A and B are shown apart, each in its own frame.
Chain A
């Protein structure tokens, strides 16, 4: 897959002196979903805002579809749709009119059939003549997505798309994003819900304090950094673990012993461990392993790399 967006050594220092981004380089591939993860104030929104033309970069170079975002901004921006983090709408406008406005703003000829398809996909068609102020928070957010899609962008930026959105709606939103991906739209989303990145992304980038700490395929990341936990369930409760099994942790009811290990290590120590149970005469009822979540990975990375 070719790079849809090329970011080289991008930096941003605001007039107040705050350094929001420093030396970020990244290629975003056509058709992928890239999740940018990071705590509040990490620089995620600044990154997206520069790519979309809302913030002027202090240094570095960005091309979108081969077009420089500053010199050739018309061609670059025409490819992009942005769903901002804050819900900002003309509250007295109707749904259909605000979406028509967005399309017109991008210089595209009116195409109500296309807009109908978008509004139907976002379950907004029945509300097309409603005023925006009458809509629920979740609907307003979907209107923002409809506006961003109104000109048929090849790239969609979603800045915290599901912040403050209930679980059902979040699932619906994910479905919409998957649908767009299947149509070949490149999607960049920022989130601090790790669940979201884990669920949606092909690749995950981690930003902290204005630096891009890493970008990896999600599965590689999980594999590389994922720790596993082996839980051994015992037939009879025990009060303490014998010295040979001291690396394990015993649950308070004495029925489970858990062992943490690196899944990608050459020697995981599992065979030796299970042999020790047999040698100590402790009978094992069941064995389960659990992969650590992206959240664990994330917290570890931010701690280790920061």
Chain B
């Protein structure tokens, strides 16, 4: 393992994050506060509670997952896509480093950014609602793995995308619907039985549900199935990245 190369990529990507702290941190926080105002304060007052949890508190884990997914995808895909777009990717490809090192640097940085943002959102939420955190260690572990998993898929997206439209396509057309239909703002048990079944085909539901379990100790699906879903998701992403570097698809003609 060439740690110095990994750190070089990692530090470069993190420097971009700290160079524009306003865009990096304030923007996700502001949008989270907006969700609180709209869903928590305006609509939430009409919903008493979900599973005995105040609605304002109930939506926090979902909101964090929503932001983590968007940020991980965007950060990792932009980092690699910009290098393809500007042409500086050649430097990475010509360097004596393995694909694991490249991925560790880019995906690691993108994941860490998401984790930092998630923690900031959590702290912001504490200003608004009483929020238990029953399993803090597992919460952090799930947060890190989810961030890493989606950064991995973001990295793949950045390699796959040939232009800006394609880069926007998956977050807009796939991720956002999956998150909104993944129980970020409601419990799957609130749905009619048929739709509850459909909702359980949505992988994001398992992430949201698992993360919510670490806060409240209760969830739509058993925590083990959430962990298995996350492991499959991570594993598939890793195999796909490995295959790309092995075949040079869209990187090395």
Q: Chain A interface (Cβ within 8 Å of chain B)?
A: 14-15, 52-56, 73-78, 80, 82, 84, 86, 88-91, 101-102, 104-109, 147
Contacts and interface: CB of A to CB of B under 8 A. Distances in A.
A104 B7 contact: yes
A54 B88 contact: no
B94 A82 contact: yes
Residue among A78, A107, A108, A147 with most chain B CB within 10 A: A107
Interface in B80-119: 86-88, 90-98
Interface of B: 2, 4-5, 7-9, 11-12, 86-88, 90-98, 248, 252-253
A134 B88 CA distance: 18
Contacts of B88: 88-90
A75 B96 contact: yes
B83 to A, nearest CB: 9
Contacts of A102: 91
Contacts of A106: 5, 95-96
Q: Is the interface of B mostly helix, strand, loop or mixed?
A: helix
B93 A109 contact: no
Contacts of A74: 2, 96-98
A166 B7 CA distance: 38
B252 A55 contact: yes
A101 B12 contact: yes
A88 B4 contact: no
Contacts of B95: 77, 105-106
Given A88-B86, A105-B8, A106-B5, A78 B96 contact: yes
A105 B90 contact: no
A90 B86 contact: yes
Contacts of B252: 53-56
Contacts of A90: 86, 88
B93 A104 contact: no
A105 B87 contact: no
9 contacts: A52-B94, A53-B94, A55-B253, A76-B96, A84-B87, A88-B90, A90-B88, A102-B91, A105-B9
A107 B5 contact: yes
Contacts of B248: 56
Nearest to B5: A107
A162 B2 CA distance: 34
A77 B12 contact: no
Nearest to A15: B253
Contact of A107 (B4, B90, B253): B4
A230 B195 CA distance: 94
Contacts of A109: 4
Contacts of B86: 88-91
A56 B248 CA distance: 8
Given A15-B253, A106-B96, 13 more contacts: A52-B94, A54-B93, A54-B252, A56-B252, A56-B253, A80-B94, A82-B94, A88-B90, A105-B97, A106-B5, A107-B2, A109-B4, A147-B91
B5 A104 contact: yes
